[in-house]
Structure 1
Amino acid sequence: MFDERQLLDDGRNYTFRAMQAYLDESADMFGLQAGVATERIAKACLVRRSPALLAELQSNSFSSLAALLGLTVVTLPGQRPKVRTVGLQVAFARLQAIGVQIDASRESLEKFIEARNWSTHGGAGEFDLEETAANFVKIIDSLLADLHFDRYSFWHVHLAQADRLKNGAEQRHRERVHKLLADAAQRFKSLSEAECSILQTRATLLVFVEPKHRRFDCPACGNPGLLSGEYVSAQNLASEDGEGIQWAMLEVEDFLCYCCELRLNGRSEIHAGNVQPIVTVTHDEAIAQVYASDPDQDGSDMQ
């Protein structure tokens, strides 16, 4: 019923129309076509793993789930089983939950979905065409990487425009993060010596109670800050005495400084802000951190 290749081909067709609308500066048409294209390709990524991932999780979702899995559902005479699949927002959430990396911040994804909704349903609202098109290219390229599909063949005649949009978005992103750092540094610098001392003492105490692998000096003011993110399993590495030690990695997704109030969210901001993106820790310590943040978890589902 839902085929990965067919979804990808549909997504490519809608992408062509979206890029034509972008060149024609037709914002509403772009939002509509880009939204459909992204949803089709996101669904292709889900179907690649299992068609069941498309099913809505509601009380009446069994018929949809069975149909997606190719199973026959007995219905009353004259009725046909209804197949209800997830929308774009839920598709994004499921992809991220299973580890698919989408090269866009949470804010960028939300803005893109809003633009798509305004174009689809109408009503009050407007969006920046250039910014939305840049987000569209970055999102699509992330999905194509997951599908192992050649982006040059996908974008075809619009490849140059896609590259220009993506490069421009990355430059604007770097500039925005650099401004966050500059503003935070200036904010701390403007404080009196007494205020700085109080904040530094507080930050030292707050950071001291956290494990060493989560501590990182702020790239804006140089004071101690904290890393947070997701712990994932790493391969076994041998120690110097020959005994195996199981390691894990903290994939950093957030940084917070208690002195200048710098906050970096998402892996793209972490990279642009020169914050360490991955920290290696012992497996036992990682499990302890997972359990401390959620006592119902035992670390066994760590990726």
Structure 2
Amino acid sequence: MKKTLKPGETPATWDPEALWGKVLRYSETMLSRKEIPWEQAFWSSLLLEHLARAALANVHPTLLAETGKAGWSSQLHALGLPIKESKFSPRSISVSEVFNRLKELFADFTPEDAAFCSAHMNLRNTEVHTGEAAYDDRPPDTWQPKFYKSCTVLLATMGLELKDILTPDEVAVAEQLIAADSDKSSAAVKGDVEAHKKVWQGKPADERANLVQAANAWATKQTGHRVDCPACGSRSLVFGEPVGAIDVTLEDNMVVERQEYLPSAFECVACDLKISGLSRLVAVELGNRFSSKSEFYPEDYYATEDPDWGAFEEDNNEPF
């Protein structure tokens, strides 16, 4: 049979390559916002939506076109065909419908993945359309593991990997976060926290006050990253392993070195709670990355002699 009408060029509206270009743009911005958690979460939502739309458009651009009451003009537009409708404006399906269609098309994109993605979009809508600061109570460890897992699945539908949107250092961290989140046995740590909390609450008030004071003295910034204990609320410490290269900047005429760490252990001397392993730390919201900071005078930092000069003390309390 002869085709008398052939599809034209896919418009940028739903072109998978155009959508992919925006994924790369938003990924770069997201990675540059590590020191401002709410901004990083916001840009991650833009990345995720365009990655999902790119994955669906990669099957066929018409899958992104709205139909229903709007008619089928948007589908014609997606096919690159002429539109006779006056004052035409192409309409896309909602992002929630994008996730629903991806769930139907790709078995690896599970209902749990779709649910997380929709929830992440809802937070973005709240941030953009209301006075509520939706991301202020969403530290990275509450969304990054499932975010990176969803990205991994969506990228795979296009023959791509995390390395195509992240730096090598971030890929290494993302893979650890995904593995930690998939460790279902880590949920047992919540029982440990509740047990220590019960014992703590049973102690006399004066004993608790003395223990809190001792914990505050112990949990100095030179020995680890300070956090509040999830069981007793005392100052406690998270320890971690360095990830990535040291970042060197010049700030206020001082050379500043920052090293990022991924948490690996926690200890509280007030209630004796100890937690080991990233997956267990993530389960009790202690899995956020942190950084150490060291400051140097430029003349000392770049000096070639006497490498053992005295620098400023470390400060390991810069959350990401």
TM-score by length of 2: 0.48
- 1:111–1:132 contact (8 Å) kept in structure 2: no
- Residue 152 (str. 1) matches residue 159 (str. 2): no
Which residue of structure 1 aligns with residue 3 of structure 2? none
Gap change, CA 1:142 and 1:177, over 3 Å in 2: farther
- Residue 45 (str. 1) matches residue 55 (str. 2): yes
Deviation for aligned residue 1:59: 0.9
- Residue 56 (str. 1) matches residue 63 (str. 2): no
Gap change, CA 1:174 and 1:92, over 3 Å in 2: farther
Gap change, CA 1:51 and 1:177, over 3 Å in 2: farther
Alpha-carbon displacement from aligned partner over 1:171-229 (angstroms, at most 9, x marks no partner): 3x44238989xxxxxxxxxxxxxxxxxxxxxxxxxxxxxxxxxxxxxxxxxxxxxxxxx
TM-score by length of 1: 0.51
Which residue of structure 1 aligns with residue 293 of structure 2? none
> C-alpha distance in 2, partners of 1:96/1:175?
27
- Rg larger in structure: 2
Cα-Cα RMSD: 2.6
- 1:39–1:87 contact (8 Å) kept in structure 2: no
Aligned-pair identity in percent equals: 20
Gap change, CA 1:177 and 1:41, over 3 Å in 2: farther
Which residue of structure 1 aligns with residue 125 of structure 2? 117
Aligned residue pairs, count = 174
Deviation for aligned residue 1:144: 0.6
Gap change, CA 1:88 and 1:19, over 3 Å in 2: farther
Gap change, CA 1:60 and 1:167, over 3 Å in 2: same
Which residue of structure 1 aligns with residue 108 of structure 2? 101
Which residue of structure 1 aligns with residue 142 of structure 2? 131
Gaps of 5+ in 1: 181-303
> C-alpha distance in 2, partners of 1:141/1:120?
26
Gap change, CA 1:59 and 1:178, over 3 Å in 2: farther
Which residue of structure 1 aligns with residue 181 of structure 2? 169
Gaps of 5+ in 2: 1-10, 192-320
- Residue 14 (str. 1) matches residue 21 (str. 2): no
Deviation for aligned residue 1:58: 2.4
Amino acid paired to 2:116: S
Deviation for aligned residue 1:139: 1.0
- 1:55–1:65 contact (8 Å) kept in structure 2: yes
Alpha-carbon displacement from aligned partner over 1:223-258 (angstroms, at most 9, x marks no partner): xxxxxxxxxxxxxxxxxxxxxxxxxxxxxxxxxxxx
- 2:73–2:85 contact (8 Å) kept in structure 1: no
**Greater helix share, 1 or 2?**
1
